[in-house]
Amino acid sequence: MPHLKLRDGAELFYKDWGNPNGAIVTFSHGWPLSSDNWENQMVFLADHGFRVIAHDRRGHGRSTQTWDGNNMETFVDDLEELFEHLGVKNAVMVGHSHGGGEVTRYLGKHSTKRFKKAVLVGAVPPLMLKTDLNAEGLDKSVFDSFRQAMHKDRAQFFLDVPSGPFFGFNRPGAQKSEGQIRSWWQQGMNTSFKSAYDSIKDFSETDFTEDLKKINIPVLVLHGDDDQVVPIQAAGLKSAKLLPQGKLKIYKGGSHAIHNINVDDVNKDLLEFIKA
């Protein structure tokens, strides 16, 4: 399995699939998952001739479980090293949830020199936390409850999240997938406790407002209007307005995991946007 040794000695696992000479699409996963969460989109685009690249964020999946550096600044610097190593250029960057924050901060900090387009899926920007200037955000007590649940029984918490709000399986009439739940749990439990715990603060309190304003390439924002994890009012609707070239598509009744539940629709939207 390919790993890249980073500047501090940590090793970053990555997948590099599809046509080695094809146009590149990169994927950044959400909390507390891994690159496995993007497999439907990666296989689909690889089958259409693209080169698809996805990594396990440090502390997640098959990457090194570092004690420190579980923050957005470190994550995006890791990405820049990976993209340099793999020769990424003229590419499309895609991120879900916490990974959407990673995409946003990467483009804000390292510029759009390697990328021509980006896609945010159920992404956390501009800011998840409720503040005096962000009334639509979630109260800090919500994220404190995540931390408390992890300390009490992480394994059960990591069953409760996918069994309910993440995929929308707690909604009346929802068709629950035991496979999706088990996959989420497995990915989550493979992430280090420290990284998963630290990342709660990272995805909830990082303000991406200024990053969004800097992104000078077309960005497609995909968001479910029944996202119970990252409410569209605090995220997708605001991000689309802050982005200089933002385009919003709302998935009616869509959950936080539209790329896992509305697979065909998301794949179609990605392909059309990339090829446009």
Catalytic residue numbers, as ranges: 97, 227, 256
Listed in sequence order, the residues at least 6 apart from 62 whose beta carbon sits closer than 8 Å to its beta carbon are 1, 3, 13, 34, 56, 190
Helix extents (H) in 35-177: 39-47, 72-86, 98-110, 140-163
Q: What residue ranges in 206-255 does DSSP mark as E strands?
A: 219-224, 246-251
CA neighbours closer than 13 Å in the CB half-sphere of residue 238: 23
Q: Quick one: how far is CA 2 from the chain centroid?
A: 21
Q: Give kind and range of the element (H or E) at residue 263.
A: helix 263-275
Rg (CA), the chain: 17
* Torsion from C-alpha of 182, 120, 111, 50, nearest 10 degrees: 70
Paired strand residues for 24: 51
Task: Please give the span between the terminal C-alpha atoms of the chain, in angstroms, as a whole number.
Answer: 33
User: What interhelical angle do 140-163 and 178-190 show, nearest 10?
Assistant: 130
Locate tokens 């570092």: which residue? 66
